[in-house]
């Protein structure tokens, strides 16, 4: 009935062998992942940094400006000169120009779109380096990733990552130089290396020196970081001054990085026009074009205004990180001072010199100049967040399930601020449908008659107009007198009787930038392009004017509108309108005629809008083409008569396909729109 126990050794071993543990699905995989996580920390960090960079780049790319933009006053110039390898405004930005040229070979979008991608890549790369810097400061991976994402989605950085500008690529080189210096500093902890140096120390020091010097080709203000670096080098290892094998190659590479500025006189001698009256081919002009550029902007405020300027800076920091971010950053800075005093002094000196200099700098777009300071402060914020998480863990360490609770709270601390940055800043910086500048000028060059003359600003602010001729050689028969002129210079008209047009003769430009139309000419709007109601530098509208020495015929009492509107505007009535068609291809135009009756001259104006929603593009117009007061004064009374204006209205290429309402309303706040027609956009 019962089996007899075998006495053989093999049978005995079989009986005594422990039972095999059943395989748990996924356990082996988790163990391998855990082993890889512990055994290959650099690979793990590289993977996380790469994921952070790809995520940030994906968001930037989704919100990237399709082509030209007015978000920056310089962006259209930088996109154009990158393609032509021309001279940008002072300080010339050679490195940016060369990098931009490389990006113009990408097989996506148009040339300006490709240069916009340079900014997206530069800002994403800076976020990767922010992660690496946080890891170098011994912050946990999750905290380092938080710091990179929280900074990457901050408002000022994001605003510069979607357009052609120097600030995002410059930030990459600022971050790279800082990371290389921290790596060099870590290597000096080896007493033998600190005393005698080695090949690795020489390479890191030389790479740092070259990167810092090269970064002046994206922004000259990076030279202001030298005092901080100098103090750090002396604190970490003053003996480097006695190590010629480290110091001499570093100085040589620094000089090599600065030699990029020879590009400016070379291109000038080759005949490339400079967008500034300064001639960089002379020694004095070279200095004034580079290191002494914009003296009127530097140290522009007296000492008694310094508190006000600091309040301005603090406001900009709050816009980017919020008040909690500022408080956490202060705590993190204090923590860094205790844990890494030398690194803290380096970061503090870099931040302090940079911040004070630009608090004393007079510029329209002052917020973007503080981006490197925001980057340095983001390191402190990441350090402060780690202090917060540690503070959460300690009291929960002895609580049942305290580890789970602490982990959940830490996750909220890391995720919610990044989510808030994305939520609040995405819509603000989504430029992906901002095609108005390109749509405007494509229709301008199509509309202009053969041999026309087109007037606009010279220098930096004229490159929206120059772009198509310089890059794509569009309409070479059209003469642009301001092309090739220096910044602030006025163009003179050809006097051979050719048809004349202007993109803005109405005085919207500051005096020193204003086009010089002949006195007494009439600027008659013939092409109007709606624009997204965002920051458009130096102009409110995209309008093409036909210039004429004779007044237009505004009065037509026999005209009858096909669309009755009867919109009252404080003494002015928009009687009605006519459209030549209600079916239009996106990017093309419809001819719009408006009929007015004047009792007095209104100041409010009207707003034309294509599409629904607050973010739809709008065009602001003055009743009667903005000419009725002068017409009434110089030609004929308009009161009691029907005033008719007619122009082509551009339907943006980014307009959603399908039926879109064309509405008109008073420019006064809260006005109710009237629907002129429902357009079928194809």
Q: What is the rounded CA–CA span in Å between residue 203 and residue 249?
A: 9
pLDDT at 350: 98
Q: Are residues 388 and 459 in the same domain?
A: no
Q: Is residue 585 part of a domain?
A: yes
Comparing 96-110, 255-269, 517-531, the range with the smallest average pLDDT is 517-531
Q: Are residues 544 and 622 in the same domain?
A: no
Task: Assess whether pLDDT exceeds 70 at residue 16.
Answer: no
Task: Assess whether pLDDT exceeds 90 at residue 646.
Answer: yes
Q: Is residue 27 part of a domain?
A: no
CA dihedral 535, 539, 544, 545 (to 10 degrees): 160
Q: Is residue 34 part of a domain?
A: no
Q: Is the Cβ–Cβ distance between 123 and 168 less than 8 Å?
A: yes
- Which pLDDT tens digit goes with each residue over 57-74? 999 999 999 999 988 889
Q: Are residues 242 and 358 in the same domain?
A: yes
Residues 6+ apart with CB under 8 A from 64: 113, 116, 117, 120, 162, 431, 432
pLDDT at 458: 83
pLDDT at 345: 98
Predicted confidence band of residue 524 (pLDDT cuts 50, 70, 90):
very high
- Which pLDDT tens digit goes with each residue over 433-451? 999 999 999 999 999 999 9
Q: Is residue 334 part of a domain?
A: yes
Strand partners, 564: 576
Domain extent at residue 663:
551-682
Residues 6+ apart with CB under 8 A from 296: 362
Task: Assess whether pLDDT exceeds 80 at residue 426.
Answer: yes
Average pLDDT over residues 38-58: 93
Left if phi > 0, otherwise alpha if psi is -120 to 50, otherwise beta: which for 586? Answer: beta
E strand or H helix that includes residue 143: helix 141-152
Average pLDDT over residues 532-560: 80
Q: Are residues 225 and 81 in the same domain?
A: yes
Q: Are residues 214 and 354 in the same domain?
A: yes
- Which pLDDT tens digit goes with each residue over 144-176? 999 999 999 999 999 999 999 999 999 999 999
Q: Is the Cβ–Cβ distance between 569 and 629 less than 8 Å?
A: no
DSSP-derived secondary structure for 438-492: HHHHHHHHHHSPTT-EEE---GGGGHHHHHHHHHH---TTSB-TTTTPPTTPPP-
The model's pTM: 0.91
- Which pLDDT tens digit goes with each residue over 261-282? 999 999 999 988 777 788 999 9
Q: Are residues 113 and 103 in the same domain?
A: yes
Q: What is the rounded CA–CA span in Å between residue 482 and residue 466?
A: 9
Q: Is the Cβ–Cβ distance between 184 and 204 less than 8 Å?
A: yes
Q: Is the Cβ–Cβ distance between 116 and 163 less than 8 Å?
A: yes
Name the residue with higher pLDDT: 400 or 512. Answer: 400
Strand partners, 618: 531, 609
Q: What is the rounded CA–CA span in Å between residue 100 and residue 112?
A: 9
E strand or H helix that includes residue 563: strand 563-568
Predicted confidence band of residue 33 (pLDDT cuts 50, 70, 90):
low
Choosing from 532, 550, 568, the residue where a domain stops is 550
Most confident of the following: 146-155, 603-612, 672-681? 146-155
Task: Assess whether pLDDT exceeds 70 at residue 366.
Answer: yes
Q: Is residue 620 part of a domain?
A: yes
Q: Is residue 599 part of a domain?
A: yes
Average pLDDT, the chain: 89
Report the relative pairing of strands 658-666 and 606-610 from DSSP bridges: antiparallel
pLDDT at 569: 82
Most confident of the following: 120-129, 627-636, 665-674? 120-129
Q: Which two tokens stand for residue 216?
A: 């002046």
Q: Are residues 424 and 441 in the same domain?
A: no
Q: What is the rounded CA–CA span in Å between residue 320 and residue 153?
A: 9
Q: Are residues 152 and 268 in the same domain?
A: yes
Q: What is the rounded CA–CA span in Å between residue 464 and residue 343?
A: 44
Task: Assess whether pLDDT exceeds 90 at residue 12.
Answer: no
Q: Which two tokens stand for residue 584?
A: 């239009």
Strand partners, 85: none
661 three-state secondary structure: strand
Q: Is residue 30 part of a domain?
A: no
Q: What is the rounded CA–CA span in Å between residue 206 and residue 181?
A: 10
Q: Are residues 295 and 318 in the same domain?
A: yes
Of the candidates 589, 569, 571, the one whose C-alpha atom is nearest the C-alpha of residue 581 is 589
Q: Cα 289 to chain center, whole Å?
A: 24
pLDDT at 509: 41
Strand order in the sheet with 589-598: 453-455, 500-502, 542-548, 522-529, 642-650, 589-598, 572-579, 563-568
Q: Are residues 418 and 437 in the same domain?
A: no
Choosing from 405, 429, 453, the residue where a domain stops is 429
- Which pLDDT tens digit goes with each residue over 372-406? 999 999 999 999 999 999 999 988 888 888 889 99
Task: Assess whether pLDDT exceeds 80 at residue 493.
Answer: no
Q: What is the rounded CA–CA span in Å between residue 248 and residue 182?
A: 20
Q: What are residue 156's phi and psi, to 5 degrees?
A: -70, -45
Q: Are residues 534 and 621 in the same domain?
A: no
Exposure letters 213-225 (e unless 16+ CB within 10 A, then b)? bbbbbbbbbbebb
Average pLDDT over residues 496-512: 66
Q: What is the CATH number of the domain that holds 572?
A: 2.60.40.2950
Q: Are residues 203 and 310 in the same domain?
A: yes
Average pLDDT over residues 582-598: 95
Q: Is residue 88 part of a domain?
A: yes
Average pLDDT over residues 102-131: 97
Number of folded domains in the chain?
A: 3
Choosing from 550, 571, 602, the residue where a domain stops is 550
Task: Assess whether pLDDT exceeds 70 at residue 49.
Answer: yes
Rounded to 5°, the CA angle 562-567-573 comes to 90
Predicted confidence band of residue 457 (pLDDT cuts 50, 70, 90):
confident
């Amino acid at each position: 009935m019962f089996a007899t126990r075998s006495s053989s050794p093999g049978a005995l071993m079989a009986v005594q062998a422990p039972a095999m543990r059943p395989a748990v699905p996924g356990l082996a995989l988790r163990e391998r992942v855990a082993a890889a996580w512990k055994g290959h920390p650099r690979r793990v960090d590289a993977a996380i940094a790469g994921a952070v960079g790809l995520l940030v780049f994906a968001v930037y790319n989704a919100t990237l400006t399709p082509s030209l933009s007015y978000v920056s006053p310089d962006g259209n110039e930088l996109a154009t000169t990158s393609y032509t390898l021309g001279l940008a405004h002072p300080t010339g930005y050679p490195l940016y120009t060369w990098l931009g040229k490389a990006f113009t070979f990408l097989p996506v979008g148009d040339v300006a779109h490709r240069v916009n991608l340079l900014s997206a890549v530069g800002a994403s790369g800076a976020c990767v380096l922010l992660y690496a810097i946080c890891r170098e400061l011994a912050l946990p991976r999750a905290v380092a990733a938080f710091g990179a994402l929280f900074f990457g989605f901050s408002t000022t950085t994001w605003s510069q990552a979607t357009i052609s500008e120097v600030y995002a690529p410059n930030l990459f080189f600022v971050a790279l130089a800082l990371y290389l210096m921290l790596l060099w500093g870590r290597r000096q902890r080896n007493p033998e290396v600190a005393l005698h140096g080695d090949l690795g120390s020489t390479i890191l020091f030389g790479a740092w020196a070259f990167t810092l010097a090269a970064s002046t080709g994206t922004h000259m203000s990076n030279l202001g970081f030298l005092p901080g670096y100098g103090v750090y080098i002396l604190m970490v290892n003053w003996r480097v001054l006695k190590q010629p094998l480290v110091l001499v190659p570093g100085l040589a590479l620094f000089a090599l990085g600065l030699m990029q500025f020879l590009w400016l006189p070379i291109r000038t001698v080759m005949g490339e026009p400079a967008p500034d009256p300064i001639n960089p081919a002379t020694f004095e002009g070279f200095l004034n074009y580079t290191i002494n550029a914009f003296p009127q902007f530097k140290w522009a405020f007296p000492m008694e205004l310094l508190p006000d300027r600091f309040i301005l800076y603090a406001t900009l920091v709050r816009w980017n990180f919020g008040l909690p971010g500022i408080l956490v950053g202060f705590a993190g800075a204090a923590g860094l001072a205790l844990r890494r005093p030398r690194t803290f002094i380096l970061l503090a000196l870099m931040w302090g010199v940079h911040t004070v200099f630009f608090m004393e700098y007079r510029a329209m777009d002052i917020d973007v100049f503080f981006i490197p300071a925001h980057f340095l402060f983001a390191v402190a914020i990441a350090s402060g967040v780690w202090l917060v998480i540690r503070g959460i863990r300690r009291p929960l360490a002895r609580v049942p399930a305290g580890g789970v609770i602490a982990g959940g709270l830490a996750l909220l601390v890391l995720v919610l601020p990044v989510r808030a940055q994305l939520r609040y800043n995405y819509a603000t910086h989504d430029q992906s449908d901002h095609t108005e500048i390109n749509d405007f000028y494509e229709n301008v060059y199509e509309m202009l008659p053969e041999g026309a003359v087109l007037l606009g600003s010279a220098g930096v602010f004229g490159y929206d107009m120059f772009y198509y001729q310089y890059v794509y050689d569009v309409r070479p028969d059209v003469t642009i007198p301001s092309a090739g002129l220096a910044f602030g210079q006025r163009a003179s008209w050809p006097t051979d009787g050719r048809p004349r047009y202007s993109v803005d003769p109405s005085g919207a430009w500051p005096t020193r930038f204003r086009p010089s139309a002949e006195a007494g000419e009439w600027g008659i709007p013939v092409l109007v392009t709606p624009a997204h109601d965002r920051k458009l530098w130096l102009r409110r509208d995209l309008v093409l004017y036909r210039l004429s020495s004779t007044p237009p015929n505004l009065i037509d009492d026999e005209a009858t509108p096909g669309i009755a509107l009867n919109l009252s505007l404080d003494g002015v009535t928009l009687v009605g309108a006519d459209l030549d068609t209600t079916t239009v291809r996106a990017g093309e135009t419809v001819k719009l005629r408006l009929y007015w009756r004047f009792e007095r001259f209104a100041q409010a104006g009207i707003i034309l809008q294509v599409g629904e929603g607050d973010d739809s593009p709008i065009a602001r117009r003055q009743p009667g083409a903005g000419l009725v007061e002068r017409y009434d004064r110089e030609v004929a009374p308009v009161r009691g008569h029907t005033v008719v204006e007619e122009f082509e209205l551009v339907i943006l290429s980014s307009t959603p396909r399908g039926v879109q309402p064309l509405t008109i309303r008073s420019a006064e706040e809260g006005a109710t729109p009237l629907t002129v027609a429902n357009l079928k956009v194809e």
